[in-house]
Amino acid sequence: MLTPYLPYPLLSGGQIRTYNLLKKLSQHHSITLFALIKDESEKKYISHLEEFCSVVRVFKRSQRPFTLKNVLKTAVSSYPFLIIRNHVPEVIKAVEAELSYTQYDLIHAETFYMMPHIPQTDTPILLVEQTIEYLGYESYAERAHPLLQPILAVDIAKIKHWEKHFWKKSDVLVTMSEADKEYIAQVLGEKEGIQVVENGVDAAWFAEKPWKPPPTPTALFVGTFKWLPNVEAVNYLLDAVWNGVKAQIPNAQLHIVGNEPTQDIIEKAKALKDVKVLGRIDDIRDAFSTANVLIAPVMSGKGTRYKILEAMAAGTPIVATPTAVEGIDVTPDTHVVLSSSPEELIQQTVKVLQNRSLQKKLSSTGKLYVAQHFEWGEISKKLDALYNAMGNQS
């Protein structure tokens, strides 16, 4: 398995997914993990992953993505910046050597930008697309400074080209939802070889810290800020929504939780009343269990959002855009409250914050729904079946 991150600690959606699937799959399969790290300090987590993996090897990529070296490489390469910043030549040699002396049933690559590390091989390749990258970047570019847009357009064209190239190169392509599968099938002109293995959640773990709505109306935003759609969403919340909520509920509070908040987000929050940027917290359940509502104004990107599944598992009511719940097949006003415009987001957030009975209804229905449909045990069986099928063919 090749991953662009070490799947522990659990700081991002990708890490959460890979970690939980590794735990389940290791019960039936022997897995060798090659992972990229940004800092030598991450090596202390290797022993934790060795509980599930036969072998764990890490390879250091550049700690800061926007180095002069990476920018110059991108300028003269057919590869986009996303591949360049995650490209480690040592990995190619290591994979080649590994395949030469060990017979593997398949190679599992997480994200298309790990695919360039795989040499020419007859070993079947399973590619997992956690999101459709070029769509997220296109949305970001539309809102970027006009001087940046031509540069971004060139890089996005590269992402689109290589993402489609590696979709075709893989033997099995895994998406997070039926919606993503249909989109990719339309782009490629075929569905063969595309499978769905949704994101999941550990409902029992979240149940250990029951939801306890606070007396002070408290809204929550959750998301890792290394992912552009999350940066876009929190800016939308701060710029277009929060003041409208405060106008109707003067004592309302907003907590912003997630790894690596940008300085711009921190400064915006300081300028607004009762907004706290908490950044990374040790136990995400503490954030969910003490909020009256999760606001998820996601406007772009594909995949299924962990923040939605986790909030539902924690029993936290949700107000979200349709994009935020794409691929989860929820029923509006039963599992979540949906809103498409700033005015609707304000109105529905206020409605949930002021209505305790509605909060309790959304809490109970959400918890039941994810427990029935998104438990990791059931989700992992789908990937296990793909492993077995590919292993039998190799």
The stretch 387-392 carries a mean pLDDT of: 91
CATH assignment at residue 138: 3.40.50.2000
CA angle, corner 368, sides to 366 and 373, nearest 5? 95
Q: Are residues 115 and 185 in the same domain?
A: yes
How far apart are the C-alpha atoms of 161 and 112, rounded to whole Å?
Answer: 11
Q: Are residues 222 and 241 in the same domain?
A: yes
Q: Are residues 216 and 189 in the same domain?
A: no
Q: What b/e sequence results for 53-90 when a residue is b if at least 16 CB atoms lie within 10 Å of its CB, and e otherwise?
A: beebebeebbeeeeeeebeebbeeeebbbbbbbbbbee
Q: What is the pLDDT of residues 226-267, one digit of tens each?
A: 888 899 999 999 999 999 999 999 999 999 999 989 999 999
Q: How confident is the model at residue 136 (pLDDT cuts 50, 70, 90)?
A: confident
- What's residue 302's pLDDT? 64
Q: How confident is the model at residue 121 (pLDDT cuts 50, 70, 90)?
A: very high
Q: Are residues 169 and 234 in the same domain?
A: no
How far apart are the C-alpha atoms of 219 and 182, rounded to whole Å?
Answer: 34
Q: Are residues 188 and 215 in the same domain?
A: no
Q: Are residues 237 and 105 in the same domain?
A: no
Contact (Cβ atoms closer than 8 angstroms) between residue 336 and residue 366: yes
Q: Are residues 168 and 233 in the same domain?
A: no
The stretch 128-141 carries a mean pLDDT of: 88
**Nearest one of 30, 74, 66, 195 to 127, comparing CA atoms:** 195
- What's residue 228's pLDDT? 84
- What's residue 95's pLDDT? 98
| β 194-196/218-222 pair status | unpaired
Q: Are residues 184 and 148 in the same domain?
A: yes
Q: Are residues 208 and 196 in the same domain?
A: no
Q: Are residues 117 and 224 in the same domain?
A: no
Contact (Cβ atoms closer than 8 angstroms) between residue 268 and residue 238: yes
In DSSP terms, 175 is beta-bridged to 196
Mean pLDDT of the chain: 94
Contact (Cβ atoms closer than 8 angstroms) between residue 77 and residue 71: no
Helix (H, G, I), strand (E, B) or coil at 191: coil
Q: What is the pLDDT of residues 198-234, one digit of tens each?
A: 999 999 999 999 999 999 999 999 998 988 889 999 9
Count of structural domains within the chain: 2
Sheet of strand 55-60, all strands in order from the earlier edge strand to the far edge: 55-60, 32-37, 2-3, 107-110, 125-128, 172-175, 194-196
The stretch 343-370 carries a mean pLDDT of: 97
Owning domain of residue 341: 203-373
Q: Are residues 26 and 136 in the same domain?
A: yes
How far apart are the C-alpha atoms of 234 and 297, rounded to whole Å?
Answer: 7
- What's residue 111's pLDDT? 96
How far apart are the C-alpha atoms of 107 and 123, rounded to whole Å?
Answer: 7
The stretch 12-17 carries a mean pLDDT of: 90
Over 90: is that where the pLDDT of 381 sits? yes
Q: Are residues 39 and 131 in the same domain?
A: yes
